[in-house]
Amino acid sequence: MRINKESFKSDFKRKLTTLYAESIRSASNFHKYYALASLVKDYSSEKWMNSNDYYSSQKKKQVYYFSMEFLIGRLLGSNLLNLGIRDLCREALAELDINLDELEELEHDAGLGNGGLGRLAACFLDSMASVGIAGHGCGIRYDYGLFEQKIVNGYQVEIPDNWLKNGNVWEVRREDKAVVVKFGGKVTPVLENDTLTFEHTDYEAVLAIPYDTPIVGYKNNTVNTLRLWSAETIDKDFDLDSFSKGEYTKAVEHKYSVQSISQVLYPDDTRIDGKILRLKQQYFFVSAGLQSILRTFRKTRKPITKLDEYIQIQINDTHPAVAVAELMRILVDEEQVSWDDAWRITTNVMSYTNHTILTEALEKWPIELFKKLLPRIFMIITEINERFCKKIYEKYNDLNLVHDMAIVCDGYVKMAFLAIVGSHSVNGVAKLHTQILKERELNNFYKFFPQKFNNKTNGITHRRWLLKSNPELSKLINKTIGDNWITEPIKLINLLAYSKDKDFQDKMYEIKQANKAEFAKYFYETHGINIDPNSIFDVQVKRLHAYKRQLLNVFNILDLYYRLKENPNLDIVPRTFFFGAKAAPGYYLAKQTIKLINTVADIIDKDQAVNNKIKVIFLENYSVSLAEKIIPCADISEQISTTTKEASGTGNMKLMMNGAITIATLDGANVEICDQVGEENIIIFGMKKDEVMELEKTKRYNSMDYYNSDPRIKRILDNLVNGSLGVSPSEFADIHKYLLANNDEFFVLKDFAAYLDAQNKIDELYRNQDKWREMSIVNIAHSGAFSSDNTIKKYARDIWRINQ
Ligand SMILES: *Cc1c(COP(=O)(O)O)cnc(C)c1O
């Protein structure tokens, strides 16, 4: 399909008319947005159909990325970009007096994820389509995405994210492809003519309806599918049985109980709370996804024993791990495949990505709950477990080891162990993370299955996080080294030749300043707050969690504040500290930290003696679209987690790609960023992996020692609880208690001095602008290594065994 400005303009006008019976003159901006998006979807639909036809006729290997979260953000801008018509549309719309950027702003973020894990899934979808892999997403179409955050009087307030209220132009509801998912009931073995089958009765049947969203590859005609499942009652509106008995309320209740399965995303990224609805969600989308994959496969008329040659499934964290047992059920119960063949097929199909070593995040389900909800799946897991335990015993003759590695043990079903045993690949998400998995967390499994373990360092799509979010920098890069970095991101390395080039340095600096000024303007217009675009933009944006140590950042700010009070002539480069972070609604300490950040922001704001030198901005409702605005402005990237706790991080990659200098612990992918850019182009501080592990083992850390020996720490902690922050002394008592009485689990006080030293280096470095700009360019040049295009190619080659 050839599109030029004139044809686009007439298509757009026609769209407004067919959708709304409106002209450009009469249509609201939202209608213009919707009509434009609808047109863009039309432009991609032929490619979508052709991709699907091509995949089925070539019998190409299909990859399915199973994930409970897809943090997509907005699609209009990225779809225009990937179709290669964004500039054309911008110009054509301008001729109609319409501003494309304004329309793009009207799209509601698809916030179907908490943070890094969900965003990774979204970046992978973009990369799979853009490098031409037949790779699709499978997840849940939540009616409500991650809550919207409002800050009221310094506190986080959660508002439901009703993202579908104005419709979702991108999705296609496919009722014809619905499947039934069964919960509860009774399973009875039936022996007939020497074959054993299992009869499932009295179950609750839930209808799973798929909604498909096209995932457009970058200028390559590939359009893949993100299939999200929605739960509905089979009788559509009523449980007829109850209804006919006159139990009207019961019928309606049943409808709502079924719909609740896909109603809301659990707003917690690192802890599990064992809620039965969550297990229901997991089985719901996994079963629906597998049933639809198998249905498509049967149409190819290939023997089921070759399923693994055509289908690969990546399990994103343990949330979809029940897929191992569900595929076994389908193969054994429905396809009459022998257990051994089914097991070979299943393990060849499945691979598992581990995302965390935090023990509170390792999913396990109480046996009683599991058995009741998924009786047949539980039987299958028991069988998998028995066979596995037998193998461990045969190999080691050690019952303790059997106990430690059993999938079903101590009253729980352990999902990570099920995923490992049932997959042919287990990967960590950064070198350090994979090393820790092998050495410590999963050491038993590594020794038993060494060939399964591998590393795949996370990545980000440079198309959204540089090309789209930082258009001026992208243009400068194009002019300087050409534009082949867009399809071969590693080519960004050619910028190294310009790291000392005065002209390039100056232009890059001007772009950064313009981005900052634009953000300051946007922030003033939306919040009425002034930000100095000439200050250093110091940015920490990520979920709020103790291990990510936003507290360390606030404590540095407080210390700086006290120093400025003592010495008003202290010569520092003005700095604006940005925080963007949502806290899980039930995570008290995290919510307290938000209140503390806002309290410190207030104190500084009201203090004439310091408020022209430092400022703290809390960015309400951090989301993908807000990330795209702030990241191109950042001078400093804060990546200060307790070493060993951040599996990879991807915010770190987005920020370096936009020229920010990273201040970091040697944790997660920070290690690899440091390896790439060299120690002279990153600011590293704090405890190393071995120190942390040693202290955790010996339990020799005593946070009180740091409180007693460092007067700066003492001042900060005392002031938290003596009323001097202008709030009740009890307001931050729990933070105080967490750090002292409870011994500071994530070593904030231990790393405090090193962090302050590192912070002080920044001022000095920034004053030397030649050096600073050179560092910035070196960072951008090396960021191509962290494109998810590269990551995905490694998954394809090593795990999915796809020949490109
Ligand atoms: C990239 C991203 C994250 C992950 O950030 P980390 O710093 O890696 O934790 C979280 N939320 C959003 C909206 C993102 O875009």
Ligand 1 centroid, distance to 71 Cα (angstroms): 10
Same domain, 41 and 135: no
How far apart (Å, rounded) are the C-alpha atoms in residues 772 and 760?
14
Tokens, residue 401: 């080891």
Tell the residue nearest (CA) to atom 3 of ligand 1.
Answer: 116
Q: Per the domain annotation, does 668 fall within a domain? A: yes
pLDDT reported for residue 248: 76
* Dihedral sign (CA 85, 87, 91, 96): positive
Range of the domain at 20: 1-57+84-102
How far apart (Å, rounded) are the C-alpha atoms in residues 57 and 223?
16
Tokens, residue 530: 């002034």
Residue 542 Cβ inside 6 Å of ligand 1? The answer reads: yes
pLDDT reported for residue 362: 83
How far apart (Å, rounded) are the C-alpha atoms in residues 543 and 582?
5
In sequence order, what are the residues at sequence separation of 6 or more whose Cβ sits closer than 8 angstroms to the Cβ of residue 14?
none
- Strand residue runs (E) in 598-706: 614-619, 636-639, 661-664, 683-684
Among the options 548, 591, 645, 736, which is catalytic? 548
Among the options 438, 456, 542, 575, which is catalytic? 542
Ligand 1 centroid, distance to 182 Cα (angstroms): 35
The phi, psi pair for 126, rounded to 5°, reads -60, -45
Q: Per the domain annotation, does 24 fall within a domain? A: yes
User: Could you say which residues of the chain have pLDDT below 50?
Assistant: none
How far apart (Å, rounded) are the C-alpha atoms in residues 495 and 776?
11
How far apart (Å, rounded) are the C-alpha atoms in residues 381 and 53?
37
Q: Per the domain annotation, does 13 fall within a domain? A: yes
Residue at a domain's end among 421, 456, 491: 456
- For residue 615, the SS3 value is strand
Among the options 543, 575, 591, 645, which is catalytic? 543
pLDDT reported for residue 240: 57
The secondary structure of residue 333, as a DSSP letter, is I
Count CB neighbours of 537 within 10 A. 24
How far apart (Å, rounded) are the C-alpha atoms in residues 20 and 31?
8
Q: pLDDT tens digits, residue range 509-518?
A: 999 999 999 9
Q: Categorise residue 213: left if φ over 0, alpha if ψ from -120 to 50, beta otherwise.
A: beta
Residue 623 Cβ inside 6 Å of ligand 1? The answer reads: yes
Residue 119 Cβ inside 6 Å of ligand 1? The answer reads: yes
Nearest C-alpha neighbor of 292 from the set 371, 180, 391, 368: 180
44-72 burial code (b ≥16 CB/10 A, e <16): beebbeebeeebeeeeebbbbbbbbbbbb
Tokens, residue 218: 């970058």
Ligand 1 centroid, distance to 146 Cα (angstroms): 13
The phi, psi pair for 327, rounded to 5°, reads -65, -40
Same domain, 427 and 555: no
Instruction: State the alpha helices, DSSP H only, in 335-425.
Output: 339-349, 367-373, 375-396, 399-405, 415-421
Same domain, 319 and 434: yes
Residue 289 Cβ inside 6 Å of ligand 1? The answer reads: no
Q: pLDDT tens digits, residue range 621-665?
A: 999 999 999 999 999 999 999 999 999 999 999 999 999 999 999
Same domain, 146 and 23: no
**Number of separate domains in the chain:** 4
What CATH number corresponds to the domain at position 608? 3.40.50.2000
Same domain, 483 and 617: yes
- For residue 49, the SS3 value is helix
Ligand 1 centroid, distance to 651 Cα (angstroms): 5
Same domain, 293 and 354: no
Query: Do the Cβ atoms of 172 and 212 come closer than 8 Å?
Result: yes
Please give the number of the atom of ligand 1 that sits closest to the Cα of 623: 13
Residue 115 Cβ inside 6 Å of ligand 1? The answer reads: yes
Same domain, 147 and 263: yes
Q: Per the domain annotation, does 281 fall within a domain? A: yes
pLDDT reported for residue 275: 85
319 is catalytic: no
Q: Per the domain annotation, does 719 fall within a domain? A: no
Same domain, 52 and 64: no
Tell the residue nearest (CA) to atom 6 of ligand 1.
Answer: 651
- pTM for this one? 0.97
654 is catalytic: yes
Q: Per the domain annotation, does 713 fall within a domain? A: no
Residue at a domain's end among 412, 428, 456: 456
pLDDT reported for residue 1: 67
* Dihedral sign (CA 580, 583, 589, 591): positive
The secondary structure of residue 213, as a DSSP letter, is E
Count CB neighbours of 97 within 10 A. 8
542 is catalytic: yes
C-alpha torsion 111→789→579→592, nearest 10: 60
DSSP string, 375-389: HHHHHHHHHHHHHHH
pLDDT reported for residue 239: 54
C-alpha torsion 788→789→790→791, nearest 10: 40
Same domain, 426 and 490: no
Centroid of chain to Cα 249: 39
Same domain, 343 and 487: no
Query: Do the Cβ atoms of 351 and 423 come closer than 8 Å?
Result: yes
296 is catalytic: no
Ligand 1 pocket mutation pick from 650, 654, 657, 786 by most atoms within 8 angstroms of CB: 650
Same domain, 372 and 504: no
Which H helix or E strand runs over 169? none
Same domain, 563 and 547: yes
Ligand 1 centroid, distance to 460 Cα (angstroms): 10
761 is catalytic: no
Number of helices and strands in the chain (H, E): 33, 25
Q: Per the domain annotation, does 3 fall within a domain? A: yes
Q: Per the domain annotation, does 661 fall within a domain? A: yes
503-512 burial code (b ≥16 CB/10 A, e <16): ebbebbeebb
Query: Do the Cβ atoms of 212 and 176 come closer than 8 Å?
Result: no
Q: In Å, how far are 398, 416, 671 from 441, measured between CA atoms? A: 19, 11, 20
Residue at a domain's end among 272, 299, 326: 299
C-alpha torsion 325→329→335→341, nearest 10: 40
The percent of residues above 90 in pLDDT, for the chain, comes to: 93
